[in-house]
Amino acid sequence: MYISMFKSAIKSAVILILGLNLFATSLQADEYPNKPINFVVGFGIGGSADRMTRSMSTFLSDELNTPIKVINKKGASTQIAANYVLKKPADGYTVFASTFSPFLANTILTGGAKYKISDFDFINVQWLDFELFAVNKNSKYNSMVEVLNAIKNHPKTVKAAVFQGSVGQLLLKLMLDKYNIPQENLNLVVYNSGGKARTAIAGGQVDLIAISAQGSETIKEFIKPLAIVKNKRVKQWDAPTLNEAIEPLGFQVPVFNGSTRGFAVRKEFKEKYPKRYEKLTTAIKRTLARKDVQKFLKSNDIGYTWTGPEESNHLIQESYDIFKSYSYLVKE
């Protein structure tokens, strides 16, 4: 009888140990994050997306209690970074941190990318910019009507600078199209960075610029704003909305967001690891709700809006659909 009781006790102990091991293994699997997370930026060091990501990484590292490593995969308007993210496991340890719109759309519509917008889940777009049309402060042009008429009536006399694949480039071409101006009438210079385009207008090398407004705060003293791409005027810029500015010409253009920056993951992540997805999403939301974080980001001219996954995905898709409608202009 004693032997039987002893065997039974051993069996129970073994079952208990196995159970504890399984429980411990399960806990370890759910302990997210238990190693550093990589944030992949689609542009180079020092740009707006990089500044947003590096600023957020410090606070998010504290919130998630794990190191965050920022990796820059610049080139091909975010296509290199997007492909890198999609090749990594959808386990929450690789996060896409970049300027998504309009560049991601352009890689698909005109850049030959094999992925789709729906391959990503946009957790939050926290920094939405809008476009600014401006001339050098000493320019003879004082309105968009004067600039567009000059392009129409005096071909090749107006030189404009845009960022490759930007909303500004699309809208400039769209205005020429709607005002029956041949595209070749404009002497268009396409830059691969906003900094170079801003330097060109500040130094008077070009007559017109169409570029992100917030990033242009640094050259405000060198330029004369002519229009902003918003539905309403803003106090930061003494300029009419674009549709107000071109109203005398008898046509309108669609108004949509400019550069849209934030964080995204592979689409499969939410389905495979819903608890991890929730933890990462909540961490970003909690971080952006902190007053000290908001103050820090604001002092560095970085957006800090909590938009949330549902609205973020909607905004990116909406921007993609608009670019798809007019992609024939950007391809030219």
Segments making up each domain of the chain, as ranges: 37-128+258-329, 131-249
User: What confidence score (pLDDT) does residue 30 get?
Assistant: 61
User: What confidence score (pLDDT) does residue 9 get?
Assistant: 52
The CATH H-level superfamily of 131-249 is Periplasmic binding protein-like II (3.40.190.10)
Token digits of residue 4: 């039987």
Which of 91, 23, 20 has the alpha carbon at shortest distance from 266? 91
CA 178 to chain centre: 28
Please identify which residue in the block is written with the tokens 């819903």.
Answer: 274
User: What confidence score (pLDDT) does residue 25 get?
Assistant: 42
Q: Does residue 172 contact residue 186 with C-beta atoms inside 8 Å? A: yes
- Cα-Cα-Cα-Cα torsion 230, 99, 172, 322, nearest 10 degrees, comes to -80
Which of 248, 282, 25, 228 has the alpha carbon at shortest distance from 149? 248
Q: How far apart are CA 52 and CA 55, in angstroms?
A: 5
Q: How far apart are CA 215 and CA 301, in angstroms?
A: 8
> Model-level pTM greater than 0.85?
no
User: What confidence score (pLDDT) does residue 14 get?
Assistant: 46
Decide if 37-128+258-329 and 131-249 have a common fold. yes
Residues of the chain with pLDDT under 50: 1-3, 6, 14-29
| Interval 110-120: pLDDT, tens | 888 999 999 99
User: What confidence score (pLDDT) does residue 174 get?
Assistant: 94
| Interval 221-260: pLDDT, tens | 999 999 999 999 999 999 999 999 999 999 999 988 888 9
Token digits of residue 5: 């009781």
CATH: 3.40.50.740, 3.60.20.10, 3.40.190.150, 3.10.25.10. Which one for 37-128+258-329?
A: 3.40.190.150
Residues 6+ apart with CB under 8 A from 70: 38, 39, 41, 50, 53, 54, 57, 97
